[in-house]
Amino acid sequence: MIDTHTHIYEPEFDQDREAVVERAVEAGVDRFLLPCINEESIPRMKALAGQYPQYCHTMIGLHPQDVHADWQDVLDSMWDKIPNPVAIGEVGLDFYWDDTFRKEQADAFEYQICKSVEMDLPLVIHMRNAEPQLIDAMERHRSDGLRGIFHCFGGSRESARLMMRYEGFVFGIGGVVTFRNSRLAQTLADAVPADRIVLETDAPYLAPEPHRGHRNEPSFLPLVADKLAQIYNLSITEIDDITSSTACRLFSI
Ligand SMILES: [Zn+2]
């Protein structure tokens, strides 16, 4: 099983990172895709990938909440620090917490979309409270053959239908699908086929039930697969096979 989005290189795991990795592998989760968020995260990512090269794949990118006035200098300085990234991520638009750098976020996203085209790499897109602006950017690049993941998709049926039109893209599904008050399960059942989904934890965030509210970790990923198995009326093994082959194809791993 592949955790396509996990931040286990973050300080939240400094006390017990090796145990976390062991528990994950024990639970059958033996691939971790590490999204980059800012320049400070790079040494931590590289240390983890160096320790577990058989399990880890690293991305390069500047998270929208880390985009400030100096984003271009930051990107120039961080870009070569990840050798052979498997994706550009996580990048995108987030106007939820803070939209001071709205224009800079849009510019940095545009720049990183162009990088993904130039480098022929998938995009791992983080989007919050910015759907119209995201769709604008996607439309501008319609003929570029973009591919990637709408990470942490938690949206409505209308959003799902809108995003399904980007054929190179799949939906990153994590703990939210297990939340009792979430509409995501119904949205997936109605509008998204299983072969347009990949699994992700977004650890340490968004732990699935029954761990909601606590630190998330990759060993919890089978709880997400179990919920998806119910939604699509498939076995967990089938969900694992379908989502893993989609992730392998997308990231060329
Ligand atoms: Zn993330």
User: For 167-187, how does the pLDDT look when each residue is reduced to its tens digit (9 = 90+)?
Assistant: 999 999 999 999 999 999 999
Element (DSSP H or E) covering residue 202 = none
% of the chain at pLDDT higher than 90: 96
In whole angstroms, give the CA distance from residue 107 to residue 90.
15
In whole angstroms, give the CA distance from residue 2 to residue 91.
20
Please enumerate in sequence order all residues whose Cβ is within 8 A of that of 202, keeping only pairs 6 or more positions apart, or say none. Answer: 5, 6, 7, 151, 152, 174, 175, 216
Ligand 1 centroid – CA 142 distance (Å): 25
Ligand 1 centroid – CA 201 distance (Å): 9
Q: Which residues place a Cβ less than 5 A from the ion ligand 1?
A: 35, 90
Ligand 1 centroid – CA 12 distance (Å): 14
| Residue for token pair 């399904």 | 164
Q: What local confidence, expressed as pLDDT, does residue 126 receive?
A: 95
Ligand 1 centroid – CA 35 distance (Å): 6
Taking alpha carbons only, the member of 156, 215, 146, 150 closest to residue 186 is: 156
Ligand 1 centroid – CA 24 distance (Å): 18
Helices (H) and strands (E) in the chain, counts: 9, 8
CB 127 within 8 A of CB 166: no
Ligand 1 centroid – CA 186 distance (Å): 24
Ligand 1 centroid – CA 183 distance (Å): 21
Ligand 1 centroid – CA 13 distance (Å): 15
Q: What is the DSSP-derived secondary structure letter of residue 88?
A: E
Q: Write the pLDDT tens digit of every residue in 38-63.
A: 999 999 999 999 999 999 999 999 99
Q: What local confidence, expressed as pLDDT, does residue 97 receive?
A: 83
- The residue-averaged pLDDT of 144-148 equals 96
Q: What local confidence, expressed as pLDDT, does residue 22 receive?
A: 98
In whole angstroms, give the CA distance from residue 65 to residue 166.
24
Average pLDDT for the chain: 96
Tokens read off for 53:
């090269």
Q: May I ask the CATH class of domain 2-251?
A: alpha beta
Q: Write the pLDDT tens digit of every residue in 59-117.
A: 999 999 999 999 999 999 999 999 999 999 999 999 998 889 999 999 999 999 999 99
Ligand 1 centroid – CA 158 distance (Å): 23
Please enumerate in sequence order all residues whose Cβ is within 8 A of that of 8, keeping only pairs 6 or more positions apart, or say none. Answer: 17, 20, 21, 32, 34, 48, 203, 204, 217, 218
Ligand 1 centroid – CA 136 distance (Å): 22
